[in-house]
Amino acid sequence: MADPRNKVEFDDIGVVRATFKIDGVTIVYDATKTGGAASTMINKAVTLSADDTVALAADGDAIVGKLLSVESDSKAVVQVEGFCDLPGGDGATLTRGAAIVGALGAASAKGYVRAAASGTAAELIKCRGRIVRNGTTTAVVVQL
């Protein structure tokens, strides 16, 4: 029998979810898609675009959490605390232990993360969490 301690996992540790409105531009409802939105939106990093409203994160944005699903009433479920995986930006610096901010993916796609630039005051004000595992850039494990 395999030793279960041989596999390190962070799934569902400390997860807290919250409901937000969607911006209707970077995040849109689609009844034909799993999770209520295109795969280019679900499981991506989100930021606040207005009071109570989330949008996919752009470069340097503060990260609110991970978009889990979108509902027909233009509301979204967002993981706002706990361990999760988020995609790293295109060529992004992903330093273990560093706090995160938004980043852009290939073709300037929004919803990605990178390590906050320690020499940039504006990013240090907005950054949160930390990178825990950076071995897979498409699924960087972070603690929000």
pLDDT tens for each residue of 18-64: 999 999 999 999 999 999 999 999 999 999 999 999 999 999 999 99
Find the range with the poorest average confidence among 8-17, 45-54, 62-71: 8-17
Question: Is residue 11 scored above 90 in pLDDT?
Answer: no
| Model pLDDT, residue 1 | 60
Output the pTM of the full model. 0.94
Q: What number of other Cβ atoms are within 10 A of residue 101's Cβ?
A: 30
Q: What number of other Cβ atoms are within 10 A of residue 8's Cβ?
A: 8
Contact 88, 141 (CB under 8 A): no
Summary mean pLDDT of the chain: 95
Strands 100-103 and 112-115: antiparallel
Give the rounded percent of residues in the chain with a pLDDT score beyond 70.
99
- For residue 118, how far is the Cα from the chain centroid? 20
Q: Indicate the pLDDT class of residue 6, thresholds 50, 70 and 90.
A: confident
